[in-house]
A and B are shown apart, each in its own frame.
Chain A
């Protein structure tokens, strides 16, 4: 059973790392502030979610599992709110590079 758990962890954390990498590539390659925001919020939130999903089978207790999920939710909330503020500022200030 622990082999199955470890396989799930390795697969999910690797997939999460892939999305973090893709988000970072987007941050470097996309042309302006607004398009870069897409790369960071979307790819990193999915990456963080997959890393959390992969770590859940390794959690020692229910509290540790809930803590991991809370971290993901707080990360989502922060990303979703801050990206709007940056997007609003970028729209009003013209195209900032």
Chain B
């Protein structure tokens, strides 16, 4: 019974988020109501189908820390690529690195891979067993340690169950 109520709450909260996104992007016009209802319904259905409501609790402080870490990494990553691209000597030592992850395959690992695709010098290129393969611009950078720190921050923010 309690699980049933929790599922309804999660459907309602997701629909509310999609409605907010619609209002921000398309505005509030009476003529748009049928289109908005269809879009919100389809988005909610799709999100529930691909990402079942989880049981883990959000930690706002850890989430804030993750967002700051993400913004910092975006800046470092962009500056790093710009520096390498504009350097006349083109300093690249590209290659693959296998990162052992503690996250199970599925949504959690996918969220981690997506988040880390914006770390400086790494692009995830598939996973196998408990490893994610990263393509690196410079294999001599401490990629594994950075990924481990990112995984810890993510687990603290979203998956501390």
B-contacting residues of A (Cβ < 8 Å)? 18-19, 22-23, 25-26, 29-32, 34-35, 37-39, 41-43, 45-47, 49, 63, 66-67, 70, 76-77, 79-81, 83-84, 87-88, 90-92
CA distance A67 to B23 in the complex (A): 9
Given A34-B94, A47-B78: A23 in contact with B123 (beta carbons within 8 A) = no
Query: Which chain A residue has the least Cβ–Cβ distance from B70?
Result: A76
**Interface-located stretch among B3-11, B45-53, B111-119:** B111-119
| Interface residue ranges, B against A (CB under 8 Å) | 21, 23-25, 27, 74-75, 77-82, 84-86, 90, 92, 94, 96, 113-115, 117-118, 120-121, 123-126, 133, 135, 137
Q: For residue A35, which residues in chain B have a CB less than 8 angstroms away from its CB?
A: 92, 94, 135, 137
Tell me if B85 and A81 are in contact (CB < 8 A).
no
Q: Tally the A-B contacts, defined by beta carbons under 8 Å.
A: 105
In the complex, the answer to whether A38 meets B137 with C-beta atoms within 8 Å is yes
Q: Give chain A residues whose Cβ lies under 8 Å from the Cβ of B24.
A: 63, 66-67, 70
Q: Which residues of A contact B23 (CB under 8 A)?
A: 63
User: Which chain B residues border A34 with CB–CB below 8 Å?
Assistant: 94, 123, 125, 135
How long is the Cα–Cα vector from A77 to B125 in the complex, in angstroms?
16
- Smallest distance from the beta carbon of A30 to chain B beta carbons, Å? 7
CB pair A25–B125 under 8 Å, yes or no, is no
B110 CB, nearest partner CB in chain A, Å: 9
Query: Are A42 and B125 closer than 8 Å at their CB atoms?
Result: no
Q: With A30-B92, A34-B94 in contact, do A91 and B74 touch (Cβ < 8 Å)?
A: no
> Can you name the residue of chain A whose Cβ is closest to the Cβ of B79?
A46
Q: Which residues of B contact A39 (CB under 8 A)?
A: 81, 85
Contact call B94/A26, Cβ cutoff below 8 A? no
Which single member of A25, A67, A91 contacts B25 (CB below 8 Å)? A67
B78 touches A84 (CB 8 A): no
Chain B residues whose CB sits within 8 angstroms of the CB of A43 once the complex forms: 78, 81-82, 85
Whether A88 lies near B125 (C-beta < 8 A) is yes
